[in-house]
Structure 1
């Protein structure tokens, strides 16, 4: 008896959903009759379509166009493709949206729609068609056709506008995560390319530094420095030092162009460098027109004085092969040699 009474109460207490609740639960849906005229629309559509177009009896063709499937928008064609995925695009022009925005000026939806007005984009909806029990009405259950946060903001929408049960939320979030991962990967690749380029530049600069170091220091000392070894100071019991210069260099400089002076010194010192290598002596430094060499250092050789003497004679002859830019006569060198013995 108690069970029968409970059954009666259950049948009498029928739950019904009001049109307002239905439009809130399905904010992007719309219902049309067999003449393809609008019957009802979800509340969120009013944020993207002018109000005057969302009035009952308005032809759906004035509001939307079908982009998928490629069929004319009429009741029979839609029923024939009832199992297909339908994509509708809003026909409302930016000027119509501007009129609506002016009516809603100062509200949040008006500020959000500003992005749509600037871009001139029309909202797309994606979903399915269902034939209602009256057999004379179709309901379009859909969601905004957006795949990223940028598109969502472009149409002036927020993620909170999507119903919780709508898979579009997950699609947008997953796609946004994928885009973020792609962006991070691209940034990592760009950073790697930049690091590789910096490493190549660093290697080139290191090679230049090594070349300069070998030119300034003896090869064995330069190699130890490049390998990070400590160089101990040492003393030599004997050596031969040679100084050479151009006696009339101070008369040449004031009357010559800088490039001519550089060319003169470059030609002269290139010839002297060849003799230094040939006679196995060491070039210490060059200052202006002065050229200093030493024999017996850093590698001691008993014939260091003889090597310096041969190098000096060769330098005198090589100097004559270079022309004085002022007098156009063979260049003369002044050479001094000193033997040092401790």
Structure 2
């Protein structure tokens, strides 16, 4: 038969007395063992006993109390962590309260739920009731209630409910306070590892979001940079430079070059403030720049009041002369809409146009510029300087 063991101050109850049938079977078994050479001590082993100190050390989170809920024994770690000093005879409900199941802390209620997992809160009940009322924010124990009817003692054996090292630090619990056989160690470490993985994932998400934001900003800055680059250089040349390619100088057999300047610009600049002159030029050149795309011409540069465009470079076209001629007519019309700061009269410009061969290429490294070279450029400049105000001076080659 099985022996019922009651743990209290190192004492044990004797095994239950078996029935006659059990005695006969035991006697028959004893004779068999004696025949096999077993000693009487081997056939009747004495129960293994533990002292109270050994029990308190082996199960550091156990409690033993009687039917009147008076404390009889407790684990060493339990005594250290309790906010109230523990001693034999202390009323258990003055220190511990049942969080789960939702019952009053009495032996009768516990006996009705002996197969349940019990969670005990350590410390005064937050709601002043024995069942805890609300969730426990301090130390709590999870374990099992075992009733020993012979001695009328209730044994609670459990372990602290912990999830992280932060909780252990807050409750002043060390890893050495948790027995090696208790899975709480693995749970805490697993929870800590999970938190670390969550933190890493969160940081990765934040880094990813930051990279996406930076990528969008870089894309916007790239668009602005490309737009500025395409304003300084032809699109074909700018794309080659972006790819790190060397832009070789090219010769173009037939292009049309235009020069223009403001009539009596020196007198206007002398009579006005520098700021007024700049605003006047900016207003005039802005109107010209908008029309360059409309007429398919490329703005080469502006020097003071001189404005230079070309068609047929770097994209070859057979309508280069017509493109420049149309643009020249538009220029003279737009110039009349801009007034001089000194007199308030419309601006007059001279325009010179010539057609011929040129050599074009990128000059400079720090501030590269797309420049044109050849007699065609010089001739177009001379056509402008010898022209008539508010008129377009066209060379014979351009006219043909």
TM-score range, shorter chain: 0.7 to 0.9
Residue 20 and residue 251 in structure 1: after superposition, are their counterparts in 2 closer, same or farther (change >3 A)? farther
Residue 42 and residue 287 in structure 1: after superposition, are their counterparts in 2 closer, same or farther (change >3 A)? farther
Structure 1 alignment gaps of length 5 or more: 94-119
SS in 1 for 2:201: helix
Give me the TM-score of the superposition, normalised by structure 1.
0.77
Distance 1:306 1:250 in 2: 37
> Which moves more between the two structures, 176-185 or 293-302?
293-302
Is the contact between residue 268 and residue 319 of structure 1 (CA under 8 Å) also seen in structure 2? yes
SS in 1 for 2:105: coil
Q: Does 1:252 align with 2:272?
A: yes
Q: Does 1:71 align with 2:87?
A: no
Q: Does 1:341 align with 2:375?
A: yes
Following superposition of structure 1 onto structure 2, how do residues 280-299 of structure 1 map, counting pairs within 5 Å? 280-286=296-302, 289-299=305-315
Is the contact between residue 239 and residue 341 of structure 1 (CA under 8 Å) also seen in structure 2? no
Residue 333 and residue 250 in structure 1: after superposition, are their counterparts in 2 closer, same or farther (change >3 A)? farther
Superposed CA offset, 1:130-189 (max 9, x none): 112535111111111112222222212122221111121222222222223333323333
Q: CA deviation at 1:265?
A: 4.1
SS in 1 for 2:60: coil
Match of residue 55 from structure 2? 22
Q: CA deviation at 1:18?
A: 1.4
Superposed CA offset, 1:29-70 (max 9, x none): 111111011111111123321453x01111111101111111
Match of residue 14 from structure 2? none
Q: 1:197 aligns with which of 204, 213, 218?
A: 213
> Which moves more between the two structures, 35-44 or 237-246?
237-246
Residue 4 and residue 132 in structure 1: after superposition, are their counterparts in 2 closer, same or farther (change >3 A)? farther
Q: CA deviation at 1:126?
A: 0.9
Superposed CA offset, 1:94-149 (max 9, x none): xxxxxxxxxxxxxxxxxxxxxxxxxx952111111111253511111111111222
Following superposition of structure 1 onto structure 2, how do residues 106-255 of structure 1 map, counting pairs within 5 Å? 121-226=137-242, 230-236=246-252, 241-246=257-262, 247=265, 248-249=268-269, 251-254=271-274
SS in 2 for 1:235: strand
Q: CA RMSD in A?
A: 3.3
Following superposition of structure 1 onto structure 2, how do residues 48-63 of structure 1 map, counting pairs within 5 Å? 48-50=81-83, 52=85, 54-63=86-95
Structure 2 alignment gaps of length 5 or more: 1-33, 126-135, 356-373, 377-400
Following superposition of structure 1 onto structure 2, how do residues 295-306 of structure 1 map, counting pairs within 5 Å? 295-300=311-316
**Aligned positions, number:** 311
Name whichever structure is richer in helix by fraction.
1
Residue 304 and residue 72 in structure 1: after superposition, are their counterparts in 2 closer, same or farther (change >3 A)? closer
Structure with higher Rg: it is: 2
Q: Does 1:41 align with 2:74?
A: yes
Distance 1:121 1:289 in 2: 81
Residue 326 and residue 151 in structure 1: after superposition, are their counterparts in 2 closer, same or farther (change >3 A)? farther
Is the contact between residue 119 and residue 142 of structure 2 (CA under 8 Å) also seen in structure 1? yes
Give me the TM-score of the superposition, normalised by structure 2.
0.67
Q: 1:269 aligns with which of 268, 285, 305?
A: 285
Residue 3 and residue 226 in structure 1: after superposition, are their counterparts in 2 closer, same or farther (change >3 A)? same
Residue 10 and residue 327 in structure 1: after superposition, are their counterparts in 2 closer, same or farther (change >3 A)? farther
Match of residue 314 from structure 1? 330
Residue 2 and residue 292 in structure 1: after superposition, are their counterparts in 2 closer, same or farther (change >3 A)? farther
Select the structure with the greater relative contact order (CA < 8 A; seq sep ≥ 6): 1
Is the contact between residue 237 and residue 341 of structure 1 (CA under 8 Å) also seen in structure 2? no
Q: CA deviation at 1:245?
A: 4.5
Is the contact between residue 210 and residue 226 of structure 1 (CA under 8 Å) also seen in structure 2? no
Distance 1:224 1:254 in 2: 38
Match of residue 114 from structure 2? 82
Distance 2:106 2:189 in 1: 35
